[in-house]
Amino acid sequence: MIRKNIFSISVSLIILYLSLSTPQTFVKIGFFDIPYLDKFVHFGLYFVLMAVIIVEHRDFCTNTRILILIALIPFFLGIAVEFLQSGLTSYRTREILDMIADTAGIIAALLIWLFIRPYYYKEGLK
């Protein structure tokens, strides 16, 4: 079970580490002083997580309902991480915009897979 999900677990652990790290862990560079950059990072991390989950289970993700149920895993991970940030750290807070960005990344990965899936099975890439 763990071997089949090694990449999903790895990405989840990276997200957990980055979410609970101190702000000093990340070096600020003037070039990257983009407003709401952290929201784009949240979007990207959860997009990658959902994409990895889909790729690892692409043979199982043939039904849209199953895919949506699988998407609940990173969704609840995102919510749990936000609560952990506010509960375990004094330097991080729980933000609704982070949860929205996480969810948007998950949905984007789902929509891309739903668009690609027919071609994936049609071309025999399976």
Our count of domains for the chain comes to: 1
What is the rounded distance in angstroms from the CA atom of residue 74 to the CA atom of residue 111? 15
Q: What pLDDT is attached to residue 121?
A: 66
Query: Which domain, by its residues, includes 39?
Result: 3-122
- In this predicted model, what pLDDT tens digit does every residue of 52-111 receive, in sequence order? 999 998 877 778 898 999 999 999 999 999 999 888 877 777 889 999 999 999 999 999
pLDDT range class, residue 47, cuts 50, 70, 90: very high
pLDDT at residue 25 in the model: 61
Distance (Å, whole) CA 103 – CA 53:
15
**102 with 43: CB under 8 angstroms?**
yes
Per-residue model confidence as pLDDT tens digits over 3-28: 888 999 999 999 999 888 876 666 66
First to last CA, the chain: 21
The radius of gyration of the chain from alpha carbons, rounded to an integer in Å, stands at: 16
pLDDT of residue 102: 95
Q: Secondary structure of the chain in the HEC alphabet?
A: CCHHHHHHHHHHHHHHHHHHCCHHHCCCCHHHCCCCHHHHHHHHHHHHHHHHHHHHCCCCCCCHHHHHHHHHHHHHHHHHHHHHHHHHCCCCCCCHHHHHHHHHHHHHHHHHHHHHHHHHHHCCCC
What pLDDT is stored for residue 27 in this prediction?
60
Mean pLDDT of the region 42-47: 96
Residue 103's pLDDT is: 97
